[in-house]
Chain A
């Protein structure tokens, strides 16, 4: 989940990293009051969860409190990339000598956080790594142990920064690394990290993304920041279809049947098993299919949950048929899922044999599941049929080209 800048600044401030004397408001009149308190030129910054706000006119510079009020009113009414601002941040206009970049991101390949530092911070930081690689320092560090001062120095020194600037930057980087781990962030970025005319360093902007699954663990932080449970803070707001999927999964404690993401294809998917959903989703696309949704089912959900998920997917406009598939070998009971998806078809008034293109769940109680599928004439496959082959069969069945003597039909 993403944080607004004013929230990210608060996180940075809590970590002991210097920030400016900023103020956040949703009211232009209050922006004027904040500017008066600051007592000098200010920057009015739109608080939106999207990039490119400077280029879109969401950042304005005001020399007087009156101008700050006018600019705040303009920025509050300005839509940026489809986002209306949460409010505006009123920030002192800083006398910056040089802009730096400091960030921590998760390296999925190394399975470790990596500290990034550049002495060429500011906008278009992405281009710095490509065009000036010698101005970017990198240092992986432990998930458990804090980033040491020595490691931070190594990272900074790669860019050629030395002396007192190096010494002043070290605690900022170690604290940023600490907050990344403590708050379950996937991104913690200060850009620009400004060296002021007086030689001090201040975080002028910050971006934070937190692991969504960490929300329960970070309740105290979220409460302090005023982030409600209803705020998903995803790249886009959840659709009604996706919210309905959450409701299906929440109906009881058994297993998982939800985590639905909506797509605009025509093949409904009831897929899962330990990351298998992603593989199956890709396999369907590789076979030329157009998934109507992503979802996750597994861990022995109740019949009611499997039924609820299948009904949801089958009821999605544009979905004609569904494919029920899990990956290699699953401990989820085949017969329970079979009952759920067949029940969904029956309760919606459909023939399960028509609506289910393929049922491929290699797992516990297979034989019992196959008896159920046989009774209702549903095509199924066991583990001898790869998930890629099963996906192809599903796509072909949707197109009406499946041959009845297909060895994987189970008939």
Chain B
């Protein structure tokens, strides 16, 4: 699933979207409440997406490549934050 705000887009792979442990971890680590644990599923809180501080805690808390943070204002090589070696 993916949700874009004005400046930031959040992409969570289907692989972990329904994972209760991942949902709990994401809710816990994000300092600006972009993720919520919705009954064991990952929920992206749209109203908070643009508050992203690019801290990468969500990326580091989940398996490689399952969470990506898109900088919608950036067209350069740093436009996507991910732990996927093919992207990051």
Using a CB–CB distance below 8 Å, which chain A residues touch chain B?
302-304, 333, 335-336, 339, 342-343, 346, 368, 371-372, 375-376
Contact = CB atoms under 8 A, between A and B. Distances in A.
Contact of A372 (B32, B51, B53, B73): B73
A158 B70 CA distance: 72
B54 interface: yes
Contacts, number: 26
B74 A343 contact: no
Interface string B35-50: 0000000000000001
B86 interface: no
Interface of B: 6-7, 32, 50-51, 53-54, 71, 73-74, 76
Nearest to A304: B51
Contacts of B76: 371
B7 A339 contact: yes
14 contacts: A302-B32, A302-B51, A303-B50, A339-B7, A339-B50, A342-B7, A343-B6, A343-B7, A343-B50, A346-B6, A368-B54, A371-B71, A371-B74, A372-B7
A304 to B, nearest CB: 7
Contacts of B73: 371-372, 375-376
A304 B53 CA distance: 13
B79 to A, nearest CB: 9
Contact of B53 (A336, A342, A343, A376): A336
Contacts of B71: 371
Most buried by A among B32, B51, B74, B76: B51
* A-B CB proximity, top 8 nearest: A375-B73, A372-B73, A339-B7, A303-B50, A303-B51, A371-B74, A371-B73, A302-B51
Given A339-B6, A339-B7, A346-B6, 11 more contacts: A302-B51, A303-B50, A303-B51, A333-B53, A335-B54, A336-B53, A343-B6, A368-B54, A371-B74, A372-B7, A376-B73
Most buried by B among A303, A346, A368: A303
A80 B16 CA distance: 70
Contacts of A372: 7, 73
Contacts of A346: 6
Contacts of B6: 339, 342-343, 346
Nearest to B47: A304
Nearest to B32: A302
Contacts of A375: 73
A346 to B, nearest CB: 7
A303 B32 CA distance: 10
Nearest to B51: A303
A356 to B, nearest CB: 15
A80 B51 CA distance: 49
Contacts of B53: 333, 336
Nearest to B79: A371
A304 B46 CA distance: 13
A301 to B, nearest CB: 11
Contacts of A335: 54
Contacts of A336: 53
Most buried by A among B6, B73, B74: B73
Contacts of B7: 339, 342-343, 372
Nearest to B7: A339
B5 to A, nearest CB: 9
B81 to A, nearest CB: 12
A304 B74 CA distance: 21
A371 B76 CA distance: 10
B16 to A, nearest CB: 26
